[in-house]
Amino acid sequence: MKICVFTGTRAEYGLLLPLMNEINADPTLTLQLLVSGAHLSSEFGLTYKEIEKDGFKIDKKVKLPLHDNSPQGVTNAMGVGLIGYGEALSQLKPDIGVVLGDRYEAFSFAAAAMIHRTPIAHLHGGESTYGAIDEAIRHAITKMSHLHFTSTEPYRQRVIQLGEDPVRVFNMGAIGLDNINNMDLLSRKQLEQDLRLKWAKHNFLVTFHPVTLELESAVEQFHNLLSVLSERDDTLLIFTKANADVEGRRINQMIDDYVAKNPEKAVGFASLGTLRYLSLMQYVDAVVGNSSSGIIEAPSFERGSINIGDRQEGRIKASSVIDCEPTIVSLKQAFSKLFSPEFQASLKGVKNPYGQGGTATKIKHTLKTFPLADILKKRFYV
């Protein structure tokens, strides 16, 4: 059985890694890997090399034009992707394709697979992110997909609400938590040496992406965050750069400028990789920004998260997540709450609503055993 896994970004690859390992280890399955998007861009760290370093064979690469992240530029990239993914599927002829999440690259892959009559297994459907264009893309991929692996039961119910047959919808938990259980995470000293950083009294892992339904707002929001962070003494800021969305380059330039002016308290990385990112998460005071990692993975480390704005609005959140507006006043209030004795005490034993791991094994078993005959002929479930 040939299973084609699609990945277009570093974050998505990190989440898919446990499933790829499970497929690779099964002698009855053949892993096909289709790599695209930011993985093939020097600007975003050429992260396809990390995939190869992890021991995977990349079967097809589809390069997208990422030099222009304006709305028209993204639309052009989607078109190029649709052509390239179609050609790749024609050659690979997988029995089923696997796609995760809600990005435009994933949408183009799902559309190509649908036309090629390739069944699609979709991970992390049913979620809500009201502040991002990903919201609509995610639900569109759900309607093109045939098997659904959600991260919580409420998300499973939402996929069913979209008309998907409950027999094909499985609540498996968040697959990214498998990495926390499976990886030998790095120590503080190893991270200090590997990343050439010096720990401070307080340390923050900062990831801020554009809010794609609020054009021209990301720069102002990120400027407010930098202003508040600059006021904090004896603090190390570890920035990971934004993804290839509209306004992403402007945020990344702001990170570069800030790090250059404040080398004693800030470091920035185009890509940390899954191992280093999760290893950092276990030692920082908080994950700050608007990345889903602060909501899904951080609670498993009993670490607080400051979730800024409405990019992640609608997601189920643990009590360790502090929501705030992207204003200076609201940001300062969030940091005050983070360091309050009451909140710090509440982090002990915090429950992660996205499960405890073991997701990849369950997904692989379902991919192996679910009958694919006539799976393409979907009916709207009522």
- pLDDT tens for the chain, residues 1 to 382: 999 999 999 889 999 999 999 999 999 999 999 999 999 999 888 999 999 999 999 999 999 999 887 889 999 999 999 999 999 999 999 999 999 999 999 999 999 999 999 999 999 999 988 777 889 999 999 999 999 999 999 999 999 999 999 999 999 999 999 999 999 999 999 999 999 999 999 999 999 988 766 655 888 999 999 999 999 999 999 999 987 666 788 899 999 999 999 999 999 998 898 999 999 999 999 999 999 999 999 999 999 999 999 889 889 999 999 999 999 999 999 999 999 999 999 999 999 999 999 999 999 999 999 999 999 999 999 9
Which residues are within 8 A (CB) of 295 and not within 5 positions of it... i.e. 6 or more apart? Answer: 305, 307, 312, 315, 317, 318, 321
Say which residue the tokens 């950083």 belong to: 197
Sign of the torsion formed by the C-alpha atoms of 131, 236, 279 and 356: negative
How is the chain split into domains, by residue range?
A: 2-176+357-369, 187-346
* Tokens linked to 260: 């250059």
Distance CA 312, CA 102 (A): 12
pTM: 0.89
The rounded distance, in Å, linking the Cα atoms of 178 and 326 is 31
Alpha helices in 284-382 (DSSP H): 293-296, 328-338, 341-346, 359-369
**Among 44, 191, 368, residue whose Cα is nearest residue 13:** 44
* Residue 237: closest CA among 297, 299, 294, 285: 285
Q: Specify the CATH architecture of the domain 2-176+357-369.
A: 3-Layer(aba) Sandwich (3.40)
The pLDDT value recorded for residue 131 is 72
Question: What's the topology of domain 187-346?
Answer: Rossmann fold (3.40.50)
Q: Give the CA radius of gyration of the chain.
A: 20
